[in-house]
Amino acid sequence: MNLRELSERLNLSQTTVSRALNGYPEVNEQTRARVAAAAAKFNYRPNVRARTLATGRAMAIGHIIPFSNQNEMVNVVFADFIAGAGEVYAGHGYSMSLALVRDEDELSAYRGVAEKGAVDGIIVHSPARDDPRIAVLADLDIPFLVHGRVSEVKTPYAWLDVNNTCAIATGTGHLLDLGHRRIGLINGEERLDFAQRRRDGYLAALAAAGLAPDPALMHSAEMSEPRGHSAAHRMLDLPQPPTALVASSLVLALGVRRAIEERGLRMGRDVSVLCFDDELSYLPNGTDRPQFTAMRSSVRAAGRRCAELLMGQIAEPDQPLPTELWEADLVIGASTGPCPQRDL
Amino acid sequence: MNLRELSERLNLSQTTVSRALNGYPEVNEQTRARVAAAAAKFNYRPNVRARTLATGRAMAIGHIIPFSNQNEMVNVVFADFIAGAGEVYAGHGYSMSLALVRDEDELSAYRGVAEKGAVDGIIVHSPARDDPRIAVLADLDIPFLVHGRVSEVKTPYAWLDVNNTCAIATGTGHLLDLGHRRIGLINGEERLDFAQRRRDGYLAALAAAGLAPDPALMHSAEMSEPRGHSAAHRMLDLPQPPTALVASSLVLALGVRRAIEERGLRMGRDVSVLCFDDELSYLPNGTDRPQFTAMRSSVRAAGRRCAELLMGQIAEPDQPLPTELWEADLVIGASTGPCPQRDL
DNA sequence: TCCGCCATTCAAAGCGCTTTGAAGTGATTC
DNA sequence: GAATCACTTCAAAGCGCTTTGAATGGCGGA
């Protein structure tokens, strides 16, 4: 059942039927009711493909998720971000088009997704420091918004980011306040922008306390549980082990905790742990008395907001490009405590 | 730059240009080269919307992820499944359209996604025992495939599932072989089909060993870390606590482990834990000496296979509906050991 | 009675591509 | 020299919708 058939059945023109169904005012209310009834009766649904061709809008947002070959890990936060964005899209009649893209086909993939007309806008995930995607997208002349930032790109672009530097500086400062002096950092891959910024925050906090960084206390790798586990072990094996660890994600922190406990130590007493908590729905850190002391910022909320900002950009392309910087909250949990007076 | 413009520039008809670009044989190789060069030069990309209208195929697969209001948790396995499916789609020129759907708008959402022509096929996630979606989709007359099964639906439909009953029966049997007699089950929500089947497997193994199930040792809730944690505590608080626990997912098992350690017990010695491991990329259980003894089946591989099966169905609609049942592997890890001879 | 106006409705022109059926070339065959 | 054929190319008809610009008819005011 298509528009032509329906309009023939009703003895009306396609124009009138289309307008009746789309709520245009220049249709007699009686006619509109008749059309609506027939549409329901014959179970008519307009063909999306034809509609998008005619209107010129795809009513879809593209999300491009990069994943490399060496490291097939799908970003842990991705599901929650998508959930947040998806909620908003649904409320606005947009659909969401996902593309998982291997690093090496990045460029072609952008063409694939942004290929003329498949989507009205794009959200860029997991940007690297000098992410080439920004230039490509700017060139493609399609609205896009970056979840995160791209330090090395100086041309303006739309983004929403957590203040990672400040967050980790605050967190590290909290550990310093507790008296810790040897503090390790277990970070994500530092080619990614957020990880680089978190590292900056860590270094800034140490510097502010007059401490020199120790390369042996800085680790960077993909953010999985076993990585956190092995990195923590390695640091705790040092002649001068850290008394506190900063983990760049809750998943890493889980591995850190396992390592601590395997050594017969207690987290929060013998070793303090602070992590960044994206408030993932399936890995909640607790509300009243969180398991981990953390810098907290909901990635799901970020997804929602990114969706809103991008749709706003699409609706009003002449507005300045939106940028938003969110501050993370420090929440005190059970994983931190005063520095043990080990050598006194 | 569209096809018409390009063909005018080349002094060729749209037909020839279209055929040249799409690899049809009836085009002079010299002409084809000329067309290809011009297309590259003018950066021509065919408009996807127009193409799908003309061909009648959307070249997109829809994924519908349900989430309820009480429980906003996005299925943990979802990201990995999507990653697997996405890889396969990319290789076949398909794109992936996601819809996050609140339980209450389920029906309308199906119309939204399957709305005439938006997608060529649909993958159904997290089916419940008597999932109403199957009937709706069958009615919509669009190819679809269920990841999991729907026990109460008797009409044929395409599916791919892990043999959950058998997997958990095997796992529980393993614990029984180790001498455990009080074994707890920490399951997912049992309105979901897979959880129901896992429960069946647990009960079957107990029955085979001549043991009666104890309701106090059976827990069912959403699969998050804190739920595993609280459920384990509750069971270990019983006058006759279990000596072994079966957890329906690795995330639950993480909470279980935390509870065990909080009580000063050691997992694998004092309390054995067996879980179902979906081989999530960011929560690997280890390969040589896994942290947890587990029934293992890769959800990413399932995603890949589901995508293949669905695309096969779309390509050859007259073939019988595919169904596939996968067996999970028992992998022995550090979390299980012989039943402690507590009261002897 | 005529005119202009408002409320409806319509025919037709796209949107940009694919695909059908026909036609224009030489070259080859009888 | 006419007929056949393979190889290329083309004009035009969709695909199913939206939207423009025009037409229709009923009505009150002049």
Q: State the count of interchain CB pairs (< 8 A) between A and B.
A: 151
Please give the share of chain A, as a percent, with pLDDT higher than 70.
93
Residue in chain B closest to A289 (alpha carbons) equals B226
Residue B106 confidence (pLDDT) above 90: no
Residues of B in contact with A261 (CB under 8 A): 261
- Using the beta-carbon criterion (under 8 Å), do A74 and B79 form an inter-chain contact? yes
| 8 A C-beta contact, residue A230 and residue A203 | no
Give the rounded distance of the alpha carbon of B57 from its chain centre. 25
How many angstroms away from the CA of B84 is the closest CA of chain A? 9
pTM over 0.85: yes
Domain boundaries, chain B: 3-44, 60-161+299-326, 164-297
CA–CA separation, A234 and A257 (whole Å): 13
Summarize the confidence of residues A325-329 as an average pLDDT: 98
Closest nucleotide (C1' vs CA) to B15 is D10
Residues of A in contact with B78 (CB under 8 A): 79
Determine the pLDDT at residue A77.
85
- Using the beta-carbon criterion (under 8 Å), do B254 and A254 form an inter-chain contact? yes
User: Per residue in A318-334, is it b (16+ CB within 10 Å) or e — as a string?
Assistant: eeeebeeebebeebebe
- Using the beta-carbon criterion (under 8 Å), do A117 and B225 form an inter-chain contact? no
Determine the pLDDT at residue B342.
60
Residue A185 confidence (pLDDT) above 90: yes
Question: How distant is C1' of D24 from CA of A17, in Å?
Answer: 18
- Using the beta-carbon criterion (under 8 Å), do B97 and A99 form an inter-chain contact? no
DSSP assignments along A229-258, one per residue: HHHHHHHHTSSS--SEEEESSHHHHHHHHH
Residues whose CB falls within 8 Å of the CB of residue B70, separated by 6 or more in sequence, listed in order: none
Find the Cα–Cα–Cα–Cα dihedral B215, B217, B219, B225, rounded to 10°.
170
How many angstroms away from the CA of A307 is the closest CA of chain B? 14
pLDDT digits (tens, 9 = 90+) for A1-33: 899 999 999 999 999 999 999 999 889 999 999
Mean pLDDT, chain B, integer: 91
Burial environment of residue B23 by CB neighbours within 10 A (0 to 12, 13 to 18, 19 or more): exposed
Please give the share of chain A, as a percent, with pLDDT higher than 90.
72
pLDDT digits (tens, 9 = 90+) for A257-289: 999 988 999 999 999 999 999 998 878 887 778
pLDDT digits (tens, 9 = 90+) for A224-234: 888 999 999 99
| 8 A C-beta contact, residue B62 and residue B113 | yes
pLDDT confidence of A312, banded at 50, 70, 90?
very high
Residue A199 gets the label, from left (phi > 0), alpha (psi -120 to 50) or beta, of alpha
Residues of B in contact with A223 (CB under 8 A): 282
Q: Across the beta sheet with A244-247, what order do the strands follow?
A: A218-220, A183-187, A244-247, A272-277, A293-296, A329-331
Determine the pLDDT at residue B68.
67
- Using the beta-carbon criterion (under 8 Å), do A117 and B60 form an inter-chain contact? no
Residue A55, CB, strand C, below 7 Å: no
Summarize the confidence of residues B179-191 as an average pLDDT: 96
Determine the pLDDT at residue A37.
94
Backbone angles phi, psi at A37, to 5 degrees: -65, -45
Closest nucleotide (C1' vs CA) to A28 is C8
Please give the share of chain B, as a percent, with pLDDT higher than 90.
72
**β-bridge partners, A63:** A98, A123
pLDDT confidence of B108, banded at 50, 70, 90?
low
What tokens does A163 get? 């203040």
Residues of A in contact with B140 (CB under 8 A): none
| 8 A C-beta contact, residue A61 and residue A121 | yes
Option in B86, B283, B291 nearest A100 (CB): B86
> Do B60-161+299-326 and B164-297 come out as alike in CATH topology?
yes
Residue B70 confidence (pLDDT) above 60: no
CATH 3.40.50.2300 at A164-297, yes or no: yes
Option in B45, B79, B112 nearest A78 (CB): B79
The residue lying closest to nucleotide D10, measuring its CA against C1', is B13
CA–CA separation, A301 and B107 (whole Å): 26
* Rg (alpha carbons) of chain A, rounded to whole number: 26
CA–CA separation, B157 and A70 (whole Å): 37
Residue A344 confidence (pLDDT) above 60: no
CA–CA separation, B316 and B313 (whole Å): 5
CA–CA separation, A314 and A333 (whole Å): 41
- Using the beta-carbon criterion (under 8 Å), do A282 and B258 form an inter-chain contact? no
How many angstroms away from the CA of B92 is the closest CA of chain A? 12
Residue A28, CB, strand D, below 7 Å: no
Residue A52, CB, strand C, below 7 Å: no
Option in B48, B75, B99 nearest A116 (CB): B48
Residues of A in contact with B95 (CB under 8 A): 97-99, 112-113, 118
Residues whose CB falls within 8 Å of the CB of residue B106, separated by 6 or more in sequence, listed in order: B66, B132, B133, B136
Residue A83 confidence (pLDDT) above 60: yes
Q: Which of residues 112-141 of B touch strand D (CB under 7 A)?
A: 116
Summarize the confidence of residues B58-71 as an average pLDDT: 79
pLDDT digits (tens, 9 = 90+) for B199-248: 999 999 999 999 999 999 999 998 988 899 999 999 999 999 999 999 99
Question: How distant is C1' of C8 from CA of A39, in Å?
Answer: 20
Determine the pLDDT at residue A100.
80
Residue in chain B closest to A139 (alpha carbons) equals B43
How many angstroms away from the CA of B80 is the closest CA of chain A? 7
Mean pLDDT, chain A, integer: 91
**Which of the residues B48, B88, B230, B298 would you substitute to probe the A interface, choosing the one with the greatest number of A C-beta atoms within 10 Å?**
B48
User: Which amino acid is present at B201?
Assistant: G
**Helix (H), strand (E), coil (C) string for A99-130:** EEEEHHHHHHHHHHHHHHHCCCEEEECCCECC
**β-bridge partners, A102:** A67
Residue B131 confidence (pLDDT) above 60: yes
Identify the architecture of domain B60-161+299-326 in CATH.
3-Layer(aba) Sandwich (3.40)
CA–CA separation, B73 and A185 (whole Å): 30
pLDDT confidence of A66, banded at 50, 70, 90?
confident
Residues of B in contact with A67 (CB under 8 A): 83
